[in-house]
Chain A
Amino acid sequence: MQKTDINKYVDNEVRNIYDEAVINTTLDKKFGLTREIIEELSKEKEEPSWVLDIRLKALEQFYKMEDPDWGPDISYLNIDNIATYVKPVDNEVRRWEDVPEDIRSVFDKLGIPESEKKALAGSGAQFDSEIVYHNLTEDLKKQGVIYTSFDEGIRKYPELVKKYFTKAVPIYDHKYIALHYALFSGGSFVYIPKGAKLDRPLQSYFRLNAPGAGQFEHTLIIVDEGAELQFIEGCSAPGYNELNLHAGCVELFVEKNAYLRFSTIENWSKNMLNLNTKKCYVSEGGKIEWIMGSFGSKVSMLYPLSVLNGEGAKCDFLNISFAGKGQNLDTGIKVIHNAPRTSTVVNAKSISKDGGICTFRSNVHVKKKAKKAKLALSCESLMLDSISRSDTIPVNTIESDDVVFSHEAKIGKISEQAIYYLMTRGMSEEEAKSLIVRGFAEPIAKAFPVEYAVEMNRLIDLELEGTIG
């Protein structure tokens, strides 16, 4: 069923790129995946040869590797039908006024420049394949904070980038990370120097606007010893009939006693194949907090990995997924406890309706040397009807004998009686469901910055609109 559905997209030879597109016809666009395309891409970006070498090695890997043997079927993906590089502008700029009008209007509607003014220390915006805007307050620049597009990072800080790039996520990790390294473009590079504590978050926003296109941004963040950072990633795309592909990569390094909160609100359109890879290395006394809200995409496969490498390293993971009609959100967490007294707290929630599928995989590996490790995992799912599905799949490998481990999984249908109760208080069935779902999501929503929590509630309402009848 699903397969024929998607074949429609793939067979669709006519790419109506003007439909809804705010981009003009002079768009520089490349299709498919060949050595020539990659060489051309690299040349256009004026990359050093070591970067091109990585791309070509990754390309080779991609063709050698098989699709993952778990999770949703993605065999319909044909990379030759994907616009692998779409260049929106010639240059990235530092002022919103300098972003071309048509592109700026998209970000204006998303409220990006406004939230930057109000609540952010710095902000970046990617449109299709390239970063179009990047800015950081002068004050932070003086402190040695680096926040640039990834391309600029390679140009300006080659030594630093080289030291960390591909070190968290190697190019042979899986097929779609190989694809990512062959085609990566855009994304952010962040370095927070020792002891620097940012009191306001940095935010990168990724917009995939061209139909049938792929986005392959690379985000590399290093939070040096004792430093603190909150980073927000937002993603969205308008809906098209054609299959869009997101194969981004996030590499995070949390050094000794450093702290990083990495928040993602993902609202890709329902024609998106989201095969994202995220990894974080945490050193002694450091802490990573993952906060994820997944609403969009047709298929998502996303399992952030945290490697707790130093004594006392911590990982907190909060996730909420919402799968509606035709959506299959396969998410989860992987964590490796590789040092004593490391700890992990997972609080994952999922909501499915109209036949949507949510799967949460937790893959925990506690190594022998991880004495006195602590892990508390809790997964809760709410199904809004009887045709939707929800699964939790835990895989635990515990080699240390001195571990406190708890795992709690709750799967349930929304309570008819609770809906009825709310309706006796004047709420429509839709409003009642929405209130229950908001309440269910609340423990996660409150971890997001206020605007995003509001956005999340708006998305929940939107998802529930037209549920009835």
Chain B
Amino acid sequence: MDLLNINKLCTIAEDDHDKKILQGLDLVIKPGEIHVIMGPNGSGKSTLANTIFASPRYIVTGGSIKLCGEDITNLSTDQIAKKGVFMSFQTPEEIPGISLAQFLKTTKHSITGEKPNLYKFTTEVEKTMTELNMKYEYVNREFNVGFSGGEKKKNEILQMLLLNPKLAILDETDSGLDVDAIKIVSRGINMYKNDDNAVLIITHNTKILENLKVDRVHVLVDGKIVKSGDSSLAREIEDNGYSKYIK
């Protein structure tokens, strides 16, 4: 069965109903796959990620989104998260007054529906942070407050690893990361990846793909997938740009 099946998805912006963003987008991801979406700025990549997550900023005007065969188009954001979808944000939020440790416990509790065993969970957090080259002391800091851009992105990957979703959508997680950090993030992706889950990577660079086994690359232009191919498509785009896909 498809892990994700998006069929003819159309969206408009909540605050501007004339603004058509996604315009009949199709996408199928099977368990165990890594997909990549590339596309010019403003083509609708973040909108796709946020529409999957039922963001209040977008209205679905047509089509459907299925996760493991179940139609999730009309579910609320938190229900979708509990079904096993995760997104690493292009710009993660700051939550003043809430420590990273408290945040991680709360989200783990929300997703699994049960309070995590404190000792086990703390050990897991510490181990994962070490693997991502994050300072463990950061658990006592306010969530994302004063974190550098790269630290915020790593924090997203940390959550992905702790929550262990079925589908992880990474929206430009590599943007603004130094070369070493990009390597750490792709290591994180490999740690997470198995035959039952899937990753959807939105990116402008091929650097992050170097150590990953990419199954499909899609080019998104004007709210539609205009071309799909294997990993060589990513390099082709990096060399030649999008001009030949823009009408």
A residues contacting B by CB (< 8 A) are 415-418, 420-429, 431, 435-436, 438-443
Stretch at the interface among B26-34, B105-113, B214-222: B105-113
* Chain A residues whose C-beta falls within 8 Å of the C-beta of B159 in the assembled complex: 425
The chain A residue with its CB closest to the CB of B143 is A439
Tell me which of A421, A429, A440, A442 contacts B93 (CB under 8 A): A421
Q: In the assembly, what is the distance between CA of A423 and CA of B103, in Å?
A: 12
* Chain B residues whose C-beta falls within 8 Å of the C-beta of A416 in the assembled complex: 56
Tell me if B97 and A424 are in contact (CB < 8 A): no
* Chain B residues whose C-beta falls within 8 Å of the C-beta of A440 in the assembled complex: 96-97
A-B residue pairs in contact (CB < 8 Å), sample of 27: A420-B55, A421-B89, A421-B93, A422-B95, A422-B107, A423-B77, A424-B53, A424-B78, A424-B81, A425-B106, A425-B107, A425-B159, A426-B78, A426-B81, A426-B110, A426-B111, A429-B76, A431-B110, A435-B95, A435-B106, A436-B95, A439-B95, A439-B97, A439-B142, A439-B143, A440-B97, A441-B97
Q: In the assembly, what is the distance between CA of A172 and CA of B176, in Å?
A: 65
Tell me if B98 and A427 are in contact (CB < 8 A): no
Known contacts A420-B55, A420-B77; A427 and B106 CB within 8 A of each other: yes
* Chain A residues whose C-beta falls within 8 Å of the C-beta of B82 in the assembled complex: 426
The chain B residue with its CB closest to the CB of A440 is B97
Tell me if A418 and B107 are in contact (CB < 8 A): no
Tell me which of A420, A428, A439 contacts B98 (CB under 8 A): A439
Give residues of chain B (52-111) contacting chain A, Cβ–Cβ below 8 Å. 53, 55-57, 76-78, 80-82, 86-87, 89, 92-98, 103, 106-107, 110-111
* Chain B residues whose C-beta falls within 8 Å of the C-beta of A426 in the assembled complex: 78, 81-82, 107, 110-111, 163
Apart from A424-B53, A426-B78, 13 more pairs, CB < 8 Å: A418-B93, A418-B94, A420-B57, A421-B92, A422-B93, A423-B81, A425-B163, A426-B82, A426-B110, A427-B107, A439-B142, A439-B143, A440-B96
**Chain B min CB distance to A442 (Å):** 3
Tell me if B97 and A415 are in contact (CB < 8 A): no
* Chain A residues whose C-beta falls within 8 Å of the C-beta of B103 in the assembled complex: 435
B residues contacting A by CB (< 8 A) are 53, 55-57, 76-78, 80-82, 86-87, 89, 92-98, 103, 106-107, 110-111, 142-143, 159, 163
Tell me if B56 and A443 are in contact (CB < 8 A): no
Q: In the assembly, what is the distance between CA of A342 and CA of B143, in Å?
A: 36
The chain A residue with its CB closest to the CB of B144 is A421
Q: Interface majority SS on A: helix, strand, loop or mixed?
A: helix
Tell me if A424 and B77 are in contact (CB < 8 A): yes
Known contacts A418-B93, A431-B110; A423 and B76 CB within 8 A of each other: yes
**Chain B min CB distance to A435 (Å):** 6
* Chain B residues whose C-beta falls within 8 Å of the C-beta of A427 in the assembled complex: 78, 106-107, 110
Tell me if B78 and A442 are in contact (CB < 8 A): no
Q: Interface majority SS on B: helix, strand, loop or mixed?
A: mixed
* Chain A residues whose C-beta falls within 8 Å of the C-beta of B55 in the assembled complex: 420
Count of A-B contacts judged by CB separation below 8 Å: 73
Tell me if B110 and A442 are in contact (CB < 8 A): no
**Chain A min CB distance to B54 (Å):** 9
* Chain A residues whose C-beta falls within 8 Å of the C-beta of B92 in the assembled complex: 421
- Residue of A415, A420, A421, A425 with most partner-chain B CB within 10 A: A425
* Chain A residues whose C-beta falls within 8 Å of the C-beta of B77 in the assembled complex: 420, 423-424
Tell me if A425 and B110 are in contact (CB < 8 A): yes
* Chain A residues whose C-beta falls within 8 Å of the C-beta of B86 in the assembled complex: 424
- Residue of A416, A418, A424, A439 with most partner-chain B CB within 10 A: A424
**Chain A min CB distance to B55 (Å):** 6
Tell me if A442 and B97 are in contact (CB < 8 A): yes
Q: In the assembly, what is the distance between CA of A39 and CA of B66, in Å?
A: 78
Tell me which of B78, B80, B97 contacts A429 (CB under 8 A): B78
* Chain B residues whose C-beta falls within 8 Å of the C-beta of A420 in the assembled complex: 55-57, 77
* Chain A residues whose C-beta falls within 8 Å of the C-beta of B76 in the assembled complex: 423, 429
The chain A residue with its CB closest to the CB of B108 is A426
Tell me if A435 and B98 are in contact (CB < 8 A): yes
Q: In the assembly, what is the distance between CA of A109 and CA of B98, in Å?
A: 29
The chain B residue with its CB closest to the CB of A441 is B97
Q: In the assembly, what is the distance between CA of A27 and CA of B31, in Å?
A: 73
**Chain B min CB distance to A468 (Å):** 10
* Chain A residues whose C-beta falls within 8 Å of the C-beta of B107 in the assembled complex: 422, 425-427
Known contacts A425-B159, A427-B110, A435-B98; A417 and B78 CB within 8 A of each other: no
* Chain B residues whose C-beta falls within 8 Å of the C-beta of A428 in the assembled complex: 78, 110
Tell me if B87 and A424 are in contact (CB < 8 A): yes
The chain A residue with its CB closest to the CB of B109 is A426
Q: In the assembly, what is the distance between CA of A416 and CA of B81, in Å?
A: 17
The chain A residue with its CB closest to the CB of B113 is A426
Tell me which of B80, B93, B96, B143 contacts A417 (CB under 8 A): B93
Q: In the assembly, what is the distance between CA of A367 and CA of B72, in Å?
A: 66
Q: In the assembly, what is the distance between CA of A416 and CA of B14, in Å?
A: 13
* Chain A residues whose C-beta falls within 8 Å of the C-beta of B98 in the assembled complex: 435-436, 438-439, 442
**Chain A min CB distance to B13 (Å):** 14
Q: In the assembly, what is the distance between CA of A415 and CA of B56, in Å?
A: 13
Q: In the assembly, what is the distance between CA of A420 and CA of B95, in Å?
A: 12
**Chain A min CB distance to B49 (Å):** 10
* Chain A residues whose C-beta falls within 8 Å of the C-beta of B163 in the assembled complex: 425-426
Q: In the assembly, what is the distance between CA of A419 and CA of B80, in Å?
A: 15
Q: Which 8 A-B pairs have the closest CB atoms?
A: A439-B97, A426-B110, A442-B97, A423-B77, A425-B107, A426-B111, A439-B98, A421-B93
- Residue of B89, B98, B111 with most partner-chain A CB within 10 A: B98
